[in-house]
Amino acid sequence: MTGSSTDRTPGAGPDGATPAPEGQRKTVLVTGATGYIGGRLVPRLLEAGHTVKVLVRSPGKIAGVPWRNRVEVVESSLDDGDALRKALAGVDVFYYLVHSMAAGAGFEAKEKAMARTAAEAAAAAGVHRIVYLGGLHPKGVQLSTHMRSREAVGQVFLDSPVDSIVFQAGVVIGSGSASFEMIRHLSETLPLMPAPSWVRNRIEAIAVRDVLYYLVAAAALTGPVNRTFDIGCRQVLTYAGMMKEYSAEAGLPYRVVLALPVPAPKLAGMWVALTTPIPLSMSVPLVQSLQHDAVSDEHDIDRYIPQPEGGLTPYRTAVALALGKERDGQVETTWANAGADSDPLPSDPDWAGHKVYIDERTFHGDVDPDRVWQVIEGIGGRNGWYSLPLAWQVRGWLDKLTGGAGLLRGRRHPHTLATGEVVDWWRVERIDRGSLLRLRAEMRAPGRAWLELAVEPDGGGSRYRQRAIFFPKGLSGRLYWLAVLPFHSVIFPAMARNITAAARELADAERPAGTP
């Protein structure tokens, strides 16, 4: 038992907290449902028979998820204590799965204050248990800002009047996780990798399926439980060893990792941001969290929650499962889809009084609109942007160099999209399936930008419409638009033609042999 354990009654332990009888249902509230873990937890809680409520700031971000109509959606933020208290009315278990990758002065204080608001609201509403997912870390060392903040948030819950379970996990391995993407891209990009000394640190990873297993099981525990639990796969590797194991599983040549005698977390974070899809705002805190060993100090969880059937998932098996999910297009959630909210595109009449630049293209073709839509919805990622790939790649690298998203984020599924999902440096702001896709830019630029792709029937064929919309910010924004105009004059007409041509190829490929 760790030093953060504060059981409420003398002798509380496995005898006082046993799994609830099969079929017992609870009402749960999940925060972070638009995030990587929360988005996967919700359907599993539903499968377990629980009644699920989710608290989100922007309900539109979950409009396209399969479980949307099976949950109660509360639109609010964790800063609003009154709204949170109302949302928690009648709730048995409160899942707090929120942790920002923001930085700057006051970051830790804000995270801690938000946790206090949540704990007070839970106590006032009579919630029976809070479940929080924190980070695995050693004791008695100076932690990074983000790891220290996670520890502090967990302690807020443990000190509250509500029984709390704080799981502490290390590197989470699963399709679409930030940790997995970081390992994957570093391993695939660099056959010989000079690396800081922390690549020799000992790491205990955990498969995302096992994290979800423990989170779901926590709802069924009865009796007083108020403590931390270290969770992991029970297999300890160095970070360099994790990259080598990944390379072996992915069929890559043997990777050589040279550990240099310097920690250099910020420099390493910048290198990770350039060579992986992870933006600088996330790569630095991720790298900083690797400055120390991350290995379980105890395995007490086994006395409360039995291991999943077949045992915990070994690291290499977790890698194989993640690669298989990505290969088969079955990625449920990704780290990138948990992005920050942004102002939507105003409707056209609202543009009055604002400076706005528009590049609009239309293209008429004899292709069925459904085939054109199939190409539109599959745009980006490995499918590309249907015009001058080199130009897109150069712009992507320039964006990466300035701390932006770049083109490496790809997309969750090769053929289908939902509101809020990422497509390279864009995010889906609106999708009217079969007719309109609106993408909001998350690249670095002096202004706000959108790209609209639309199709409608036109006689016996289709009319494809494409709009690039830019709201400049000051003089720099206007100069930026003038600078990119020559590229737009080449890229956008080609894009319109090539999307229609790709739709025609799809139609030809699906036409039965011998049909004219």
Summarize pLDDT for 80-96 with one digit per residue, the tens.
Answer: 899 999 999 999 999 99
69 phi and psi angles, rounded to 5 deg: -80, 0
The whole-number pLDDT of residue 104 equals: 54
Tell me if 484 sits within 8 A of 477, measured CB to CB. no
The whole-chain average pLDDT of the chain stands at 85
Mean pLDDT of 401-425: 84
The whole-number pLDDT of residue 262 equals: 64
Domain with CATH 3.30.530.20 in the chain: 357-510
Bigger pLDDT: 425 vs 43: 43
The whole-number pLDDT of residue 7 equals: 45
Local confidence band at 13 (pLDDT 50, 70, 90 cut-offs): very low
What letter represents residue 282's amino acid? M
The whole-number pLDDT of residue 178 equals: 84
Mean pLDDT of 186-204: 80
Highest mean pLDDT among 262-271, 382-391, 507-516 belongs to: 382-391
Residue 428 structure tokens: 């889906």
Bigger pLDDT: 263 vs 164: 164
Q: How many whole angstroms separate alpha carbon 96 and alpha carbon 86?
A: 16
From the DSSP assignment, how many helices (H) and strands (E) are in the chain?
Answer: 14, 19
Mean pLDDT of 40-69: 90
Mean pLDDT of 273-297: 79
Tell me if 125 sits within 8 A of 160, measured CB to CB. no
Give, for 228, the enclosing helix (H) or strand (E): strand 227-231
Angle between helices 208-220 and 36-47 (to 10 degrees): 50
Local confidence band at 15 (pLDDT 50, 70, 90 cut-offs): very low
The whole-number pLDDT of residue 396 equals: 83
Q: Helices marked H in 351-388 — which ranges?
A: 369-377
DSSP-derived 3-state class of residue 280: helix
Q: For the chain, report the end-to-end CA distance as a whole number of angstroms.
A: 74
User: What is the distance of C-alpha 75 from the center of its chain?
Assistant: 20
The whole-number pLDDT of residue 16 equals: 38
Bigger pLDDT: 401 vs 488: 488
pLDDT of 511 over the 70 cut: no
Give, for 286, the enclosing helix (H) or strand (E): helix 280-288
Cα separation values, 421 from 34, 221, 347, Å: 10, 34, 21
pLDDT of 146 over the 70 cut: yes
Bigger pLDDT: 218 vs 280: 218
We find that the CATH architecture of domain 357-510 is 2-Layer Sandwich (3.30)
Q: How many whole angstroms separate alpha carbon 493 and alpha carbon 361?
A: 7
The fold of the 27-324 domain, in CATH, is: Rossmann fold (3.40.50)
Mean pLDDT of 140-166: 91
Tell me if 216 sits within 8 A of 156, measured CB to CB. no
Bigger pLDDT: 67 vs 190: 67
DSSP-derived 3-state class of residue 440: strand
Summarize pLDDT for 291-344 with one digit per residue, the tens.
Answer: 788 999 999 999 999 999 999 999 999 999 999 988 877 778 776 666 555 566
Strand partners, 228: 166
Q: Which residue has the tokens 């079969």?
A: 434
Mean pLDDT of 473-486: 87
Q: Which residue has the tokens 């520890």?
A: 151
Closest CA to 100 of 267, 339, 314, 271: 339
Q: How many whole angstroms separate alpha carbon 278 and alpha carbon 97?
A: 20
The whole-number pLDDT of residue 63 equals: 79
Tell me if 52 sits within 8 A of 72, measured CB to CB. yes
Tell me if 364 sits within 8 A of 456, measured CB to CB. no
User: What is the distance of C-alpha 265 from the center of its chain?
Assistant: 22
pLDDT of 233 over the 90 cut: yes
Bigger pLDDT: 306 vs 4: 306
What is the percent of the chain where pLDDT is above 70?
89
Domain with CATH 3.40.50.720 in the chain: 27-324
**Contacts made by residues 471-477, CB under 8 angstroms, sequence distance 24+:** 471/354, 471/355, 471/356, 471/447, 472/355, 472/357, 472/446, 472/447, 473/446, 473/447, 473/448, 474/446, 476/446, 477/445, 477/446, 477/447
Q: Which residues of 291-307 are buried (b: 16+ CB within 10 A; e: fewer)?
A: bbbbbbeeebbeebbee
Angle between helices 280-288 and 178-189 (to 10 degrees): 90
| Three-state secondary structure of 230-257 | EECCCCEEEHHHHHHHHHHHHCCCCCEE
Q: How many whole angstroms separate alpha carbon 161 and alpha carbon 22?
A: 28
pTM: 0.75
Q: Which residues touch 368 (CB under 8 Å, ≥6 apart)?
A: 461, 462, 503, 507
